[in-house]
A and B are shown apart, each in its own frame.
Chain A
Amino acid sequence: MKFGLFYEISVPRPWTNETEKTVYDRCLEQVKLADELGFSNVWAVEHHFLEEYSHCPAPELFLTACAMVTKNIRVGHGIIVCVPEFNHPIKIAERTAVLDILSGGRLEVGTGRSATWTELGGFCVNPDETKKTWDEIVHCLPKMWTQERYSYQGRSWSMPTRTILPKPYQKPHPPMWVAVTSPGTEIDAAERGMGSLGLTFGGFKEQEEKVKNYRRIIRNCEPVGEVVNEKVATVNFLFCHEDDAEGVKMGRRLTGSFNYLAAQLVAAREAFPSKSYPSLGLLPSLRQEAAGPGDESGAPEGVAIGNPARIVRALKQWESVGVDHVNFLLNALEAVPQEQVLKSLRLFAKEVMPQFQSRGDNAAAAAGGR
């Protein structure tokens, strides 16, 4: 199992001149440490207008900065909203290629379509269309990356023959993922040979079923790209502390802050009924699970908060149902002081990572552990 970071970049009010810069600086400091500790990737979302919840409309810039201060950690541009009103497909191909070059071939490309009316309405997007445009664009991207000359006449966008430049550093192209929030999207991912970038918790049983389906379907996929990226990632919260009660208490503060903010946004389905959005999407699902019934000390099932032993148990359960990447949210509303975030990362690398395969020894050594 591999571990990564997942950034929404939450900025609490009041928004002074320095607030956003401070939060971004702290995120970069965390990423730099995570790289040293052996975390495998850092993901940054693309969100717009999501007050306090996410001030991350240009993740490619943040990830470029991450790449400049790190050596090994892979940079996950995701999800990129594959809706032309948000991002023209040519621009997606170009800027991902540049990020791949600048990061020395460390780019992962996550794709999606947005789940909130807050964003879709802001860009005057018809929610009925987003699944179709996402599908069209993910089929185009690999060709735009790999073909010297490219032209396209499609449903949601078209272009005459041009040379799209530059090309990605990784050959044939960076790994591609799909953000999985709505039920059944893991099947979309599998059918297209893309990684499943889970953005909801769901229960272990539900996840196990999804992973099984995904692995079964991807065997016979028609990949959109030149390589199949068979991987299943989920998102989680992380706060690791020697004292379990302290860890759970602070972890609950983190999950509570995140969930509260997420709830204030308007899900696409809430405002604009559409079969294109059968569930409330990322935010409410994550919220429900995180606020769901937990064990005696109040840590919800499967959430990585508490002492190392508790977190190992939670992650072993995820591993047992077939998850091979877990990406962690470290903060929301700056509810966790920066020094504690860093301490939590170090403790996780020292005590938890070695219990899992993949770079565990390096991680423990970097954290000053065994």
Chain B
Amino acid sequence: MPPRFGCLDLNAWTKSIPVIDGYGTESWTLKGARILEVHMEIEDDPADALLPRTMHPAVPAYAIFNVASYPESPFGPFAVAEVRIAGRTGVRPRGHVLRSYVNNEAAAKEMAARWGYPVAAGDVSLVLRHDRVVGRVKAGGSTVLEIEEVDRDSIAGNDIQYIASMHLCRNKGDGKPVLVQVDPEYVFHRAERGRPRVVTLDAEAFRAREHLRVTWPIAATYATADVTLPRLRYVCNPELPALQGTSKVAA
């Protein structure tokens, strides 16, 4: 096997991870979501330190900045902003979520307990303007992330391929760290693509410190869709490559 895997310091990282309440959650369907996603290439070697050993870095390395607003949920409207590092578990493209800022405490608690989202409290906003879409997160009194899609152009919803997320959390049952795969389903209503901009990025606020350095723009998309956060299907041992350490947890 190729000797290239993520090299996240699990001991340090898992000192502060959410606890997932088993793998039996029901799915949530969140209608009318608005999703801004920005893809940026990042420096390869430092970013390996943001991927667990389960994952192989994407070639080239890139980060996914995502701000989504959900007007309806069992816990009221909420918005989420997160940064993922793209990689692969085995042969599947996946993004390791570094941190998810959520502006609704009750929803955040459920997301952590059901899907292992690494949540933190933040003031998350998604603003549509005629020339751009802006996603912004304020936490601890300052802006920690601001991303934009500019020069908006319509595309088809099925042109967009969101990759599934991997959440590093602790299993309530045995107390061990586990990587949970969350692969939402999307029914698109409209979609567009534009140029991406990262206006502000406080890497520390996403636990990335010096490891996350944006180097090159790829693309930005904005979409409206119905999103289903699914029942969990797979979990991985974060200490093993995915081909050796993946387990199925649901039919």
A interface list, Cβ under 8 A from B: 12-14, 49-52, 117-118, 121-122, 259-266, 269-275, 278, 280, 287, 291, 333
Interface contact B219-A271, CB-CB below 8 Å: yes
Interface contact B161-A121, CB-CB below 8 Å: no
**How far does the Cβ of B244 sit from chain A's closest Cβ, in whole Å?**
13
Interface contact A13-B59, CB-CB below 8 Å: no
B40 to chain A: closest residue by CB: A271
Given contacts A13-B3, A273-B219, contact A260 B91 (CB under 8 A): yes
**How far does the Cβ of B126 sit from chain A's closest Cβ, in whole Å?**
19
Q: What 1/0 flags go to B131-169 for Cβ under 8 Å of A?
A: 000000000000000000000000110011101000000
In the complex, B58 has a CB within 8 A of chain A: yes
B155 to chain A: closest residue by CB: A273
B62 to chain A: closest residue by CB: A271
Interface hub of A262, A266, A278 (most chain B Cβ within 10 A) = A266
Given contacts A49-B60, A264-B56, contact A273 B221 (CB under 8 A): yes
A51 to chain B: closest residue by CB: B59
B157 to chain A: closest residue by CB: A273
A121: which of B56, B60, B156, B159 is its contact (CB, 8 Å)?
B60
Interface contact A13-B90, CB-CB below 8 Å: no
In the complex, B48 has a CB within 8 A of chain A: no
A226 to B39, CA, bound (A): 44
- Interface SS of chain B: helix, strand, loop or mixed? strand
In the complex, B2 has a CB within 8 A of chain A: yes
A260 to B1, CA, bound (A): 9
Interface contact A265-B59, CB-CB below 8 Å: yes
In the complex, B80 has a CB within 8 A of chain A: no
A50 to B191, CA, bound (A): 30
Interface contact B218-A275, CB-CB below 8 Å: no
Interface contact B163-A270, CB-CB below 8 Å: yes
In the complex, B32 has a CB within 8 A of chain A: no
Q: List 16 A-B contacts (CB under 8 A).
A: A13-B4, A14-B3, A52-B2, A117-B218, A121-B60, A265-B58, A269-B159, A270-B93, A270-B163, A271-B39, A271-B218, A272-B218, A272-B219, A273-B191, A273-B219, A273-B221
In the complex, B193 has a CB within 8 A of chain A: yes
A272 to B155, CA, bound (A): 11
Using Cβ atoms and an 8 Å threshold, which residues of chain B touch A272?
Answer: 39, 193, 218-219
A12: which of B2, B56, B161 is its contact (CB, 8 Å)?
B2
A150 to B90, CA, bound (A): 50
**How far does the Cβ of A209 sit from chain B's closest Cβ, in whole Å?**
21
Given contacts A12-B2, A291-B91, contact A121 B155 (CB under 8 A): no
Using Cβ atoms and an 8 Å threshold, which residues of chain A touch B159?
Answer: 269, 273-275, 278
In the complex, B88 has a CB within 8 A of chain A: yes
**How far does the Cβ of A37 sit from chain B's closest Cβ, in whole Å?**
31
Interface contact B2-A261, CB-CB below 8 Å: yes
In the complex, B178 has a CB within 8 A of chain A: no
Interface contact A273-B160, CB-CB below 8 Å: yes
In the complex, B82 has a CB within 8 A of chain A: no
A333 to B3, CA, bound (A): 12
In the complex, B216 has a CB within 8 A of chain A: yes
Interface contact B155-A275, CB-CB below 8 Å: yes
**How far does the Cβ of A123 sit from chain B's closest Cβ, in whole Å?**
12
A273 to B91, CA, bound (A): 20
Please name 11 further chain A to chain B contacts, defined as beta carbons within 8 Å, in addition to the given A13-B3, A280-B161, sorted by A numbering. Answer: A13-B2, A49-B60, A121-B216, A260-B91, A266-B93, A271-B218, A273-B160, A273-B161, A273-B193, A274-B155, A275-B159
**How far does the Cβ of A246 sit from chain B's closest Cβ, in whole Å?**
21
**How far does the Cβ of B152 sit from chain A's closest Cβ, in whole Å?**
13
In the complex, B209 has a CB within 8 A of chain A: no
A122 to B59, CA, bound (A): 11
Using Cβ atoms and an 8 Å threshold, which residues of chain A touch B91?
Answer: 259-260, 262-263, 287, 291
8 closest residue pairs by CB, A with B: A263-B91, A273-B159, A272-B219, A273-B160, A271-B218, A264-B59, A51-B59, A266-B58
**How far does the Cβ of B11 sit from chain A's closest Cβ, in whole Å?**
26
**How far does the Cβ of B226 sit from chain A's closest Cβ, in whole Å?**
18
A333 to B58, CA, bound (A): 18
**How far does the Cβ of A227 sit from chain B's closest Cβ, in whole Å?**
36
A263: which of B86, B90, B156 is its contact (CB, 8 Å)?
B90
Using Cβ atoms and an 8 Å threshold, which residues of chain B touch A52?
Answer: 2
CB within 8 Å of A: which of B53-96?
A: 56-60, 62, 86, 88, 90-93
Given contacts A272-B39, A273-B160, contact A263 B88 (CB under 8 A): yes
Q: What 1/0 flags go to B228-251 for Cβ under 8 Å of A?
A: 000000000000000100000000
Using Cβ atoms and an 8 Å threshold, which residues of chain A touch B57?
Answer: 264
Using Cβ atoms and an 8 Å threshold, which residues of chain B touch A49?
Answer: 59-60
Interface contact A264-B88, CB-CB below 8 Å: yes
Using Cβ atoms and an 8 Å threshold, which residues of chain A touch B4?
Answer: 13
Q: What 1/0 flags go to B180-199 for Cβ under 8 Å of A?
A: 00000000000101000000
B216 to chain A: closest residue by CB: A121
Given contacts A271-B218, A271-B219, A272-B218, contact A50 B59 (CB under 8 A): yes
Interface contact B221-A263, CB-CB below 8 Å: no
A52 to B59, CA, bound (A): 10
**How far does the Cβ of B183 sit from chain A's closest Cβ, in whole Å?**
14
A276 to chain B: closest residue by CB: B159
Using Cβ atoms and an 8 Å threshold, which residues of chain B touch A287?
Answer: 91
Using Cβ atoms and an 8 Å threshold, which residues of chain A touch B88?
Answer: 263-264
**How far does the Cβ of A119 sit from chain B's closest Cβ, in whole Å?**
10
Using Cβ atoms and an 8 Å threshold, which residues of chain B touch A271?
Answer: 39, 62, 218-219
Interface contact B3-A118, CB-CB below 8 Å: no
A271 to B59, CA, bound (A): 11
Using Cβ atoms and an 8 Å threshold, which residues of chain B touch A333?
Answer: 2
